[in-house]
Amino acid sequence: MNGTFPRERLLRLAVAGTLGAWLLVLAACPGGHAEEVRYTFVAHLSAPAPPAVSPNAAAAAVHDSLVTATLERDVRTLAAPEMRGRLRGTDDNGRARAYIVSRLRAAGLAPLFGDSFEQPTYVEPGDNVARVRHGTNVGAVLAAEARDAEWIVLAAHYDHLGVVGGAIHPGADDNASSVALLLALGDALGRVRPRLPRHVVLLFPDAEEPPDIRTERMGSSWFWRHPPLPAERLYLAIVLDLMGGRASPEMQAAGLGDALFVLGAEASRSLADFTRALPSSDGVAPVFLSLPMIEAMPYVPNRRFARSDYHGLREHLGRPFVFLSTGRAETYHTERDTADTVDYAKLARVTRWVGVLAMQAAEGSAPLEWRDFTADARADARTLLRMSSGIEASARFPWPLRRALVADRRMVEGLLRRWDAGAAPTPETYRALQLASTRLQAAQWRPGGWYFALW
Ligand SMILES: [Zn+2]
């Protein structure tokens, strides 16, 4: 996941104590796309959930044959000090890439880009200017029998922040956790070799992190613009970021220690129904949220800020996708995001859940639709109230922040009452919900961050 509060140095200034510096943070945040945000409010997530389906044969086989012992080994390898944070364009990044390729080859998967597991990416500065090499994506495929079959893709970026201010940022949760998950899934696919009606693509994009996030320089943006399979045949993309962080004390108090956030499913009724009817899996509680609920920061009205590799897909392909994350831990984008802090038992559980999701998608019969700029405000309000139910009992937050979080909670309760009584959400009231969601995430990322009370 990219930085919600990416200007780390500016943030430190704010911590040091001036409101002025904090305003600077807001002003300095990257521009992103300046499109006017007008959501259509839907009820795809708040409608009664369809009954859960039973796993198809491939899902059951992959679920049962997943070997989760590789997860910790792979995270420890990718987040080792020798990898020095896997910064795009460095030899360190290249060593991580070579490791991923060797794992995919050993799994018996086919290279995705002709005879290569690697896809060079470029910056395209415009006409008459030579394009400049930027990064390298990695990809493998388990092919369906029909060459022109539809396809699904699972994407987990492998780059991270490198060495910042002399400190290695290992990027264990961000995003070695998701890479390890896909590698374990690749092993299982190679062993089981299910006969599927769709190609299954495992993609490891480069250049997801700042300063590339939300730009055409992202490795995934290049991939979405230059897919090795026809874009219109993409059935579903599954984007993973931060899959192994430990749940905060507040989330645990709220009974959400096993939460796996599923974002983007609100984009159509068919996509919402598909994801909500997935077979249940032990120790994983999918929590559905509209994607806009994590895209309100920085505080710039009428903007949204994509948080991961779905950015270019949304901009260029408009195909169905879901974004999965266990959420941002306190170690997020710090030198403390080490392999020791990852919750491997949880990572193993979500790996099985994602394996089932992938196989259900590989055989899904319902056409999936996707529509941009949708949100389910009532479902989001309910989820937010669930997530914040442990706030008042928590002693971790300094009083201004705690007061703001409690006030947010009251405000969301009021909104939900009005919406349940028949009032329609408006851009303004939904914006208030988004900011409450962002503050809640920020508080759990930086529990000492009194300045988050100032929004
Ligand atoms: Zn990141």
For the chain, helix, strand, coil in percent to 5 are 45, 15, 40
pLDDT (tens digit, 0 to 9) for every residue of the chain, 455 residues total?
Answer: 544 444 444 444 344 333 333 433 443 344 444 456 789 999 999 999 999 999 999 999 999 999 999 999 999 999 999 999 999 999 999 999 999 999 999 999 999 999 999 999 999 776 667 788 999 999 999 999 999 999 999 999 999 999 999 999 999 999 999 999 999 999 999 999 999 999 999 999 999 999 999 889 999 999 999 999 999 999 999 999 999 999 999 999 999 999 999 999 999 999 999 999 999 988 999 999 999 999 987 767 778 888 999 999 999 999 999 999 999 999 999 999 999 999 999 999 999 999 999 999 999 999 999 999 999 999 999 999 999 998 888 889 999 999 999 999 999 999 999 999 999 999 899 999 999 999 999 998 899 999 999 87
Q: How far is the CA of 241 from the centre of ligand 1 (A)?
A: 8
Q: How far is the CA of 269 from the centre of ligand 1 (A)?
A: 30
Q: How far is the CA of 325 from the centre of ligand 1 (A)?
A: 12
Distances (CA, A) of 98 to 28, 92, 215: 36, 10, 25
| Residue 33, pLDDT score | 45
- Single-letter amino acid code for the residue at 221: S
Spatial distance between the Cα atoms of 159 and 179, rounded to a whole number of angstroms: 10
Q: How far is the CA of 66 from the centre of ligand 1 (A)?
A: 27
Spatial distance between the Cα atoms of 389 and 384, rounded to a whole number of angstroms: 9
Question: Model pTM?
Answer: 0.92
Q: How far is the CA of 126 from the centre of ligand 1 (A)?
A: 28
Q: How far is the CA of 453 from the centre of ligand 1 (A)?
A: 24
Q: How far is the CA of 242 from the centre of ligand 1 (A)?
A: 8
Distances (CA, A) of 259 to 4, 23, 169, 289, 436: 20, 33, 26, 12, 19
Which among 447, 434, 426, 375 is positioned nearest to 408, based on CA atoms?
434
Spatial distance between the Cα atoms of 135 and 219, rounded to a whole number of angstroms: 6
Report CA torsion sign: 254, 259, 261, 262.
Answer: negative
Q: How far is the CA of 23 from the centre of ligand 1 (A)?
A: 23
Report CA torsion sign: 437, 277, 61, 138.
Answer: negative
Q: How far is the CA of 447 from the centre of ligand 1 (A)?
A: 19
Q: How far is the CA of 20 from the centre of ligand 1 (A)?
A: 26
- Single-letter amino acid code for the residue at 324: L
Q: How far apart are the first and last CA of the chain?
A: 22
Q: How far is the CA of 81 from the centre of ligand 1 (A)?
A: 17
Q: How far is the CA of 134 from the centre of ligand 1 (A)?
A: 18
Spatial distance between the Cα atoms of 442 and 447, rounded to a whole number of angstroms: 8
Q: How far is the CA of 372 from the centre of ligand 1 (A)?
A: 24
Q: How far is the CA of 215 from the centre of ligand 1 (A)?
A: 14
- Which residues are within 8 A (CB) of 43 and not within 5 positions of it... i.e. 6 or more apart? 376, 378, 379
Q: How far is the CA of 416 from the centre of ligand 1 (A)?
A: 32
Q: How far from chain centre, in Å, is Cα 400?
A: 30
Q: How far is the CA of 101 from the centre of ligand 1 (A)?
A: 21
Q: How far is the CA of 24 from the centre of ligand 1 (A)?
A: 22
Q: How far from chain centre, in Å, is Cα 150?
A: 23
**Burial class of residue 443 (count of CB atoms within 10 Å of its CB; 0-12, 13-18, 19+):** buried
Q: How far is the CA of 223 from the centre of ligand 1 (A)?
A: 19
C-beta of residue 236 within 8 angstroms of C-beta of residue 267: no
Spatial distance between the Cα atoms of 65 and 59, rounded to a whole number of angstroms: 10
Q: Which helix (H) or strand (E) holds 275?
A: helix 269-276
Q: How far is the CA of 2 from the centre of ligand 1 (A)?
A: 4
| Residue 19, pLDDT score | 39
Report how many helices (DSSP H) and strands (DSSP E) the chain contains, helices first. Answer: 14, 13
Q: How far is the CA of 49 from the centre of ligand 1 (A)?
A: 32
**Token representation of residue 299:** 């505080």
| Residue 21, pLDDT score | 36
| Residue 9, pLDDT score | 43
β-strand 132-142 against 162-164: which pairing, if any? Answer: unpaired
Q: How far is the CA of 171 from the centre of ligand 1 (A)?
A: 8
Q: How far is the CA of 1 from the centre of ligand 1 (A)?
A: 4
**Token representation of residue 203:** 């993609």
| Residue 28, pLDDT score | 39
- Which residues are within 8 A (CB) of 372 and not within 5 positions of it... i.e. 6 or more apart? 267, 314, 318
Alpha helices in 110-210 (DSSP H): 177-192
Beta pairing partners, 135: 121
Distances (CA, A) of 229 to 97, 103, 179, 182, 287: 22, 23, 22, 19, 31
